[in-house]
Amino acid sequence: MKYDAHLELTNKDEAYAINRVAAQANGAVWLKSGNTVILATVVVDETDFVDEDFLPLTVQYLEKSYAAGKFPGGFIKRETKPSDFEALTSRIVDRSLRPLFPKGFANPIQITILVLSCDSESDLQVLALNAASAALYVSDVDIFTSVSAVRIGKIDGEIVVNPTLSQLKNSTLDLYLAGSRDDMLMIEMQANGSDKAIAVDAMIDPVMGAQVFLQRESNALPEDELIDVLTLAQNELKVSNTLYESTFKPLAKFAFELKYVVSEVNSTMMEYVRQNHTEDLKRGIANMAKTERSTALRTIRKDIMVNMPDWNEHELKKAIESVKRSMVREQILEEKIRADGRSLTQVRPISIETNILPSAHASALFTRGQTQALVVLTLGGPKDAQMYEGLTDSGTQNEAFMVHYNFPGFSVGEPSPIGAPRRRELGHGNLAKRALEGATVANGQTIRLVSEILESNGSSSMATVCGGYMALRAGDIEVCEPIAGVAMGMVQEGNAHAILSDIMGLEDHDGDLDFKVTGSKNGITAMQMDIKLGGIHLDILREALYQAKEARGHIIDIMIEAEQTIRLNEGTLPSTDLFHVDPSFIADIIGQAGKTIREIIERFDVAIDIDKKKGAVKLTGKNRDGLKGAREHIQGIVAGVEATPKVDYKVGDVVLGVVKKIVDFGAFIELPGGVDGLIHISKISDERVSKVSDVLNEGDEMMVEIIEFKGNKIGLARAKPL
């Protein structure tokens, strides 16, 4: 392939072939970086246009398995449904490029990004946006603003621009910023927590060694530090976009004239609405819920049509919407009062209920104004993790922390069917996952949070974050600090602007910014920003960040108070215990052919995972008594301490016991005094027994003889008749 441009950027090189393949597309770029090759194309329907007030833009990012020398997984050896990563990347590119298109752009346009070759270190999301933006820039579409992406990491305390994927795995910061030379257009950010192994000196034992515990450190990023990182990232974008524009401008096609649909609002109708229905509109927009607001506006329209039967109802609808939008924005900018009567910084009323689902492991119902999320927690072991394999992965990976977000139509009063999750639902779930994962102490558990949005009037993703934290705590999962989220908005006219805390749907629709910020009182764990103005400057962003911090602190105070009333679902909540032993004793815990560990599992009804190299022992059980007994039993084996029965028994004693639990290899017998012993299947009868349950039932009484003491175990045999 002959390349038209070779560009050197911070920590990476990019080579571009412009319009050399896919020649029938309006614009095509072949991008090579390392061993990664991406083809991005732009196609515009020049003959058709959409007579509606929205941009008909479609973005598809698709990965080809052959790009990494792999076959598609599953029975069908062909790419089918896009993966979550493909859907999320498509969404990132869409959100970054959408602000470039002028109002009224009405021709259907599709941007397709194909990953044709891939190496294990390439940042595909950064390259995908750069390729798509370059294809749009060199196409014959009349858009000549370059947008590019930069990723920032923080590794060993040092800021790294465009880190490799290997470096990113060890980073406590993942910031993806898309923007032009002068403005930021889209932000995705996550602060990653880290685990520290801490040896507690006070618990050093000569046999078991130091007891080592994993402690989760929060790496929530303070607002001042985030501003510094964003300043650095914006400077990188200024350099890269200047280079892109100077390089691509001579290679761009001649732009053709597209049809723009500029929706003219009837000024006569607008004036009539202002003169006669201002108070009706104020009452209508004060009703926060979307369905109530729509009903109020429809009533006004019907009333006007009675008096003005010759008017076009569709034009009147646009006139009412325009007046409504102006009223909402003027009231915010001039009176500093919002449609529902709140001040600019006021958060809607919040209520929290926990563990309202008795059969679930944990649950939380988080309600803020007219937005309500039911978040349900399910806990499992390593085998419950979600398996996946990305294009840059060397093998199958496991996702042990999942957040699934569902947005049914009834949450906004719409009769729509429930189907597969869409890009928006995947994006909101991913944002909540990034907000909570870094602060959660999982201790080897698989965690799944499902957020069912029951009612929505703005900021349902942030309700998911708050409800997710409460569900984790209602499931007795440790989180290193309380995490909450709030959606911020902005209204800007000329040099005047107003930042809004906890926006509702009306303010999202009629405002200029949707800025979601999650974190603790100390800093930010995740962030997502979409701008409708074409860009935002750092001084306004700084103001929004600090106003969000104030709102977040208010929400966290309410959540901390709600934590005090949590009652665990003891009957359904599985418990986990993690401790360490000297690795040299692992063989004793497992026993010959696994006999000892099977006995522990059966006796205490627990699951046991052991890291033989580190000596980490993880117990998972249905109740805490079983966990406690299993831990004491294992520690007794390690310490070599014989159990001291509550009754003084010796080998040869014959006592009456009760069958407590039947297992494949025998039965546990409760002896007088509450002491348990094990009778092996071979000791139950003189005749061969193939199945214990054929000769014994739980609750049966039987005479047994004590035949051995081994560690803290008592060995039994059926007593022979005198």
What pLDDT, on the 0 to 100 scale, is given for residue 511? Answer: 86
569 domain residue, yes or no: no
Task: Write out pLDDT tens, residues 485-497.
Answer: 999 999 998 889 9
Percent above pLDDT 70 for the chain: 93
Residue 623's CATH number: 3.30.1370.10
516 domain residue, yes or no: no
Residue 276's CATH number: 1.10.10
Instruction: Give the confidence band of 207 by pLDDT, cuts at 50, 70, 90.
Output: very low
Looking at the structure, do residues 460 and 557 belong to the same domain, yes or no?
yes
What pLDDT, on the 0 to 100 scale, is given for residue 199? Answer: 41
513 domain residue, yes or no: no
As a whole number of angstroms, the distance between CA 678 and CA 604 comes to 13
493 domain residue, yes or no: no
Average of pLDDT values for 384-411? 91
Residue 379's CATH number: 3.30.230.70
Tell which of 563, 588, 607 closes a domain. Answer: 563
Average of pLDDT values for 336-340? 89
Looking at the structure, do residues 300 and 233 belong to the same domain, yes or no?
no
**Closest by Cα among 562, 372, 363, 559 to 474:** 363
Range of lowest pLDDT (36-40, 124-128, 196-200, 384-388):
196-200
Looking at the structure, do residues 289 and 238 belong to the same domain, yes or no?
no
Q: Which residue has the higher pLDDT, 148 or 539?
A: 148
Cβ(695)–Cβ(685) below 8 Å: yes
What pLDDT, on the 0 to 100 scale, is given for residue 196? Answer: 47
The range of the structural domain enclosing residue 42 comes to 5-251
Task: Write out pLDDT tens, residues 190-200.
Answer: 998 655 444 43
188 domain residue, yes or no: yes
What pLDDT, on the 0 to 100 scale, is given for residue 632? Answer: 84
C-alpha dihedral (523, 525, 531, 537), degrees to nearest 10: 40
Range of lowest pLDDT (106-120, 212-226, 336-350, 505-519):
212-226
What pLDDT, on the 0 to 100 scale, is given for residue 203? Answer: 37
Please determine, for residue 115, whether its predicted confidence score (pLDDT) is greater than 90.
yes
Looking at the structure, do residues 57 and 194 belong to the same domain, yes or no?
yes
**Closest by Cα among 560, 568, 564, 609 to 589:** 609
Looking at the structure, do residues 582 and 557 belong to the same domain, yes or no?
no
As a whole number of angstroms, the distance between CA 641 and CA 709 comes to 11
Task: Write out pLDDT tens, residues 356-388.
Answer: 999 999 999 999 999 999 999 999 888 889 998
As a whole number of angstroms, the distance between CA 134 and CA 30 comes to 10
Looking at the structure, do residues 150 and 295 belong to the same domain, yes or no?
no
Please determine, for residue 263, whether its predicted confidence score (pLDDT) is greater than 90.
no
106 domain residue, yes or no: yes
Number of domains in the chain: 5
Helix axes 538-563, 460-474, angle to 10 degrees: 40
Looking at the structure, do residues 552 and 582 belong to the same domain, yes or no?
no
Amino acid identity, position 242: T
What pLDDT, on the 0 to 100 scale, is given for residue 665? Answer: 82
Q: Which residue has the higher pLDDT, 70 or 289?
A: 70
In this structure, the number of other CB atoms found within 10 A of the CB of residue 453 comes to 24
Looking at the structure, do residues 189 and 284 belong to the same domain, yes or no?
no
415 domain residue, yes or no: yes
Please determine, for residue 642, whether its predicted confidence score (pLDDT) is greater than 70.
no
Average pLDDT, the chain: 88
Please determine, for residue 710, whether its predicted confidence score (pLDDT) is greater than 90.
no
Average of pLDDT values for 146-172? 94
User: Any bridge partners for residue 62, and if so which?
Assistant: 114
Average of pLDDT values for 391-403? 90
Range of lowest pLDDT (90-94, 113-117, 154-158):
154-158
Q: What is the 3-state secondary structure (H, E, C) of 58-99?
A: EEEEEECHHHHCCCCCCCCCCCCCCCHHHHHHHHHHHHHHHH
What pLDDT, on the 0 to 100 scale, is given for residue 628? Answer: 83
Please determine, for residue 14, whether its predicted confidence score (pLDDT) is greater than 60.
yes
Looking at the structure, do residues 454 and 554 belong to the same domain, yes or no?
yes
Task: Write out pLDDT tens, residues 601-621.
Answer: 888 888 888 888 888 888 888
Task: Write out pLDDT tens, residues 545-589.
Answer: 999 999 999 999 999 999 999 999 987 888 777 888 888 788 888
Tell which of 226, 251, 276 closes a domain. Answer: 251
Looking at the structure, do residues 591 and 697 belong to the same domain, yes or no?
no
Residues 6+ apart with CB under 8 A from 307: none
Amino acid identity, position 249: K
Please determine, for residue 311, whether its predicted confidence score (pLDDT) is greater than 80.
yes
As a whole number of angstroms, the distance between CA 668 and CA 684 comes to 12
Looking at the structure, do residues 42 and 102 belong to the same domain, yes or no?
yes
Class of residue 257 by CB neighbours under 10 A (exposed 0-12, middle 13-18, buried 19+): exposed
φ/ψ of residue 693, rounded to 5:
-65, -10
What pLDDT, on the 0 to 100 scale, is given for residue 624? Answer: 73
534 domain residue, yes or no: no
Looking at the structure, do residues 616 and 664 belong to the same domain, yes or no?
no
As a whole number of angstroms, the distance between CA 146 and CA 103 comes to 18
Average of pLDDT values for 105-134? 96
What pLDDT, on the 0 to 100 scale, is given for residue 197? Answer: 43
